[in-house]
Amino acid sequence: MEYTVGDLAKLAGVSTRTLRYYDQIGLLKPAGINASGYRIYGPAEVDKLQQILFYKSLDVDLERMKEILNSPTFDKAAALREHRQKLLAKKAQLDLLIANVEKSIAAIEGRITMSDKEKFEGFKKELIRKNEDQYGAEARQKYGNEAVDASNAKVAAMTKEEWEKLTGLEKEMKENLKIAFNKGDPACAEAQKAADLHRQWLCFFWPSYSKEAHAGVAQMYVDDPRFTAYYDKEQPGLAAFLRDAIFIYTGKQRNTRNS
Amino acid sequence: MEYTVGDLAKLAGVSTRTLRYYDQIGLLKPAGINASGYRIYGPAEVDKLQQILFYKSLDVDLERMKEILNSPTFDKAAALREHRQKLLAKKAQLDLLIANVEKSIAAIEGRITMSDKEKFEGFKKELIRKNEDQYGAEARQKYGNEAVDASNAKVAAMTKEEWEKLTGLEKEMKENLKIAFNKGDPACAEAQKAADLHRQWLCFFWPSYSKEAHAGVAQMYVDDPRFTAYYDKEQPGLAAFLRDAIFIYTGKQRNTRNS
DNA sequence: ATAAACCTTGACGTAACGTTAAGGTCAATA
DNA sequence: TATTGACCTTAACGTTACGTCAAGGTTTAT
């Protein structure tokens, strides 16, 4: 398969100017030149252009590409594996930026206040990474705090309205639940109100509501430690109490379940 | 808080030249100039610079930034949410590139032969995306919600025995996942084992398995705060790592993997 | 009071092309 | 056969987002 500049350009999605420039700087010379002075590229050049575009997507400058691609010890597979690693690193960096954005959204909405220093942390890390990228260092990944903040900030990714409604629902539910818990009766008005609010909360996530599913979730709050911990944190026994209230709300019989 | 160019530059991790340039082109004017002609920046400028750096990380050119930031209808929170969407889109694009790299490695190792056209597909898609990015097309992420919510409903309806089987699977998956996470490679054996266990876990609920749905759920683990919080609680970054592993797993599914 | 460490405004350099400009080549058509 | 239009060529200046001196004024610390 032989290509002229235009053919290869179209194939690769780059401009003909780009190919001529690569020829000019000696990055990608055509396989030959025909009688009328046209550049002719072969399959080897297609492969090399692919390599070039890969590296380009990584922001490797053309000078460095020449070094890499002209190296006699150049192992394609190894280069691609390295490339993959870099792409993954880039993605990790993106995660960091996303976390920062989400944090900023939260800040604007008044839930968190960020110090001026904090505002730039994501970008500073990016600078460091770029440096490391450029000079081939492979050390990285200790973004502990940021990642934790990221997961917190995920909540911020919801629209403001969603967030407010959700937190409002949850807060109201908990208030009712605590009052009911102190009364000790999962059938009392407050407990049933809490169960109803919990249903609304669930409906926020679920496309369709069913009593059975609702009861199932309530049971899971007791069986699954991650949920139990959440509810029992403020008031031990609250998870089980909520389950009882929901069982009554959904009409499920209180049978022999332990915990 | 008042800053001179050097102060702000240090804070933001940019050069003083950059700040003078932004002043020059009217992108970021200082709050004022003191008696000796020094530029003085205030908190509003810190915020604006942050916005600028956000957009810069997206390859938005400075001219467009002026339009965006000087727009009277400019809503910071909305802009950030849009920004976040773009970052997520960029990440999706990275996933595409990674898939392409994986494919190329396979091709080099003789498992597949790629046509010349195929070799450039990833890059062409990138071009399209860049265009869409530039001209304000919106994000489109449709998959995930229904599937995940459906699975939640099923979890809720489960018996305790089923639940225990499930948690067993999950525990084993997590063990593999943590080992893999420490290695840092979502393509390594443990990570892929974890992805496979995760598939089994999913098959517990799903009537039919599909790679696309699997990948969709993996993405949800990162997008949905409920899941992210769960995975990242023990090991920050784990949700994203699991997603990456699953993306590789679902992309490589064709290569004789059994279980 | 003098150096170090800031700040100022030019002004030229750069990477990786985009964009004319001015012209040669090739296949198909009037 | 001549011309059109889509190719190709080299040459050269333009662009973006700064980096990098240069030449000089200001502030702070000793």
Give the distance from residue B53's alpha carbon to the nearest chain A alpha carbon, in angstroms: 8
User: For position A65, what pLDDT does the model report?
Assistant: 85
pLDDT in tens, A11-58: 888 899 999 999 999 999 999 999 999 999 998 898 899 888 877 866
User: For position B165, what pLDDT does the model report?
Assistant: 67
Q: Are residues A166 and A244 in the same domain?
A: yes
In whole angstroms, what is the distance from residue A245 CA to residue A218 CA?
9
Q: Is residue A126 part of a domain?
A: yes
In whole angstroms, what is the distance from residue A125 CA to residue A117 CA?
12
pLDDT above 60 for A1: yes
User: For position A37, what pLDDT does the model report?
Assistant: 94
Please report, rounded to whole angstroms, the spatial distance between the CA atom of protein residue B27 and the C1' atom of nucleotide C3. 36
Provide the number of structural domains found in chain A: 3
CA distances from B132 to A59, A143, B71, B136, B139 (A): 21, 31, 21, 6, 9
Inter-residue contact B114 to B107 (CB < 8 Å): yes
Q: Contact A154/B223, CB-based, under 8 Å? A: yes
Q: Is residue B48 part of a domain?
A: yes
Q: Are residues B52 and B82 in the same domain?
A: no
Q: Helix axis angle, A76-108 relative to A43-57, nearest 10°?
A: 30
Give the distance from residue B232's alpha carbon to the nearest chain A alpha carbon, in angstroms: 7
Please report, rounded to whole angstroms, the spatial distance between the CA atom of protein residue A106 and the C1' atom of nucleotide C6. 37
CATH code of the domain in which A178 resides: 1.10.490.50
Q: Are residues A96 and A50 in the same domain?
A: no
Following CA atoms A258, A222, A231, A244 in sequence, which dihedral angle do they give, to the nearest 10 degrees? Answer: -70
Q: Are residues A138 and A164 in the same domain?
A: no
Q: Are residues B218 and B152 in the same domain?
A: yes
Q: Are residues A42 and A94 in the same domain?
A: no
Q: Are residues A176 and A125 in the same domain?
A: no
Report the percentage of chain A scoring pLDDT > 70.
Answer: 48
Range of the domain at B127: 78-134
pLDDT in tens, A174-193: 888 888 888 888 889 889 99
pLDDT in tens, B177-193: 888 877 777 888 888 88
Q: Are residues A147 and A178 in the same domain?
A: no
Q: Which backbone phi and psi does B31 adopt, to 5 degrees?
A: -60, -35
Q: Contact B13/A81, CB-based, under 8 Å? A: no
Q: Is residue B257 part of a domain?
A: no
**CB-CB neighbors (< 8 A) of A154 in chain B:** 223-225, 228-229
Which of the listed residues A126, A157, A188 is the one where a domain comes to its end?
Answer: A157
Q: Are residues A63 and A82 in the same domain?
A: no
Nucleotide nearest to A35 (CA to C1'): C25
What number is the average pLDDT over the span A242-259?
67
pLDDT in tens, B114-147: 555 555 555 444 434 433 333 332 222 222 222 2
Q: Contact B57/A126, CB-based, under 8 Å? A: yes
Inter-residue contact B232 to A151 (CB < 8 Å): yes
Which of the listed residues A157, A191, A210 is the one where a domain comes to its end?
Answer: A157
User: For position A19, what pLDDT does the model report?
Assistant: 96
* Interacting residues of B200 by C-beta distance below 8 A, sequence separation 6+: B169, B259
Q: Contact B84/A105, CB-based, under 8 Å? A: yes
Nearest to B101 among A12, A80, A126 (CB): A80
Q: Are residues B130 and B160 in the same domain?
A: no
Q: Is residue A55 part of a domain?
A: yes
Q: Is residue B128 part of a domain?
A: yes
Average pLDDT, chain B: 68
Q: Which backbone phi and psi does A148 adopt, to 5 degrees?
A: -65, -45
Closest CA to B86 of B64, B61, B57, B63: B57
The answer to whether strand D lies under 7 Å from the CB of residue A5 is yes
Q: Contact A101/B88, CB-based, under 8 Å? A: no
Which of the listed residues A157, A180, A205 is the one where a domain comes to its end?
Answer: A157
Give residue A61's pLDDT band: very low, low, confident or very high (50, 70, 90). confident
Q: Is residue A259 part of a domain?
A: no
Give residue B231's pLDDT band: very low, low, confident or very high (50, 70, 90). low
Max avg pLDDT among A94-103, A239-248, B27-36: B27-36
Q: Are residues B99 and B191 in the same domain?
A: no
Single-letter residue type at A165: K
The answer to whether strand D lies under 7 Å from the CB of residue A37 is yes
Q: Is residue A226 part of a domain?
A: yes
What ipTM was reported for this prediction? 0.45
In whole angstroms, what is the distance from residue B155 CA to residue A177 CA?
24
Q: Is residue A255 part of a domain?
A: no
User: For position A13, what pLDDT does the model report?
Assistant: 84
CATH code of the domain in which B66 resides: 1.10.1660.10
Q: Are residues A64 and A80 in the same domain?
A: no
Give the distance from residue A53's alpha carbon to the nearest chain B alpha carbon, in angstroms: 8
